[in-house]
Chains A and B, each alone.
Chain A
Amino acid sequence: MHLCRYLVVLRKLRMCTSSIKDIDKNMESIFAIPPNDLHQRWLTTIYKIVTQPLKRMPFLFIIPLSLGISLAVYVLFGQLVVKFVSLLQYGF
Chain B
Amino acid sequence: MDFERILTSIFASFIIMIRRIIYLIVSPYKTMRAISTDGDILQAGIILIGVVGYFFIANKFRPYEYHPALLSFITILHILGTMSFFAIFTALSDKKKHINICSFIMLFSYALIPTLVWFVVNSWLFVFIPPPRTLSLLGKGFSIIYMSFSVALLAWKMILVYLAIRYATSFQFFRIIYSLFIYLAIIIPYSLLLYSFGLFRIPFL
Query: Which A residues are within 8 Å of any B CB, using their own CB?
Result: 29-30, 32-34, 36-39, 47, 54-59, 62-63, 65-67, 69-71, 73-74, 79, 81-86, 88-92
Q: Are B135 and A82 in contact (CB under 8 A)?
A: yes
Give, as a whole number of angstroms, the nearest-CB distance from B36 to chain A.
Answer: 8
Q: Describe B's contact surface by its main secondary structure.
A: helix
Q: For this complex, into which size category does the number of interface residues on chain B fall?
A: 35 or more
B25 within 8 A of A: yes
Q: Which residues from A are CB-within-8-Å of B148?
A: 63, 66-67, 69-70
Q: Describe A's contact surface by its main secondary structure.
A: helix
B9 within 8 A of A: no
B147 within 8 A of A: yes
Within 8 Å by CB of A70, from B130, B144, B173, lies B144
Q: Are A91 and B122 in contact (CB under 8 A)?
A: yes
Q: Which residues from A are CB-within-8-Å of B25?
A: 59
B39 within 8 A of A: no
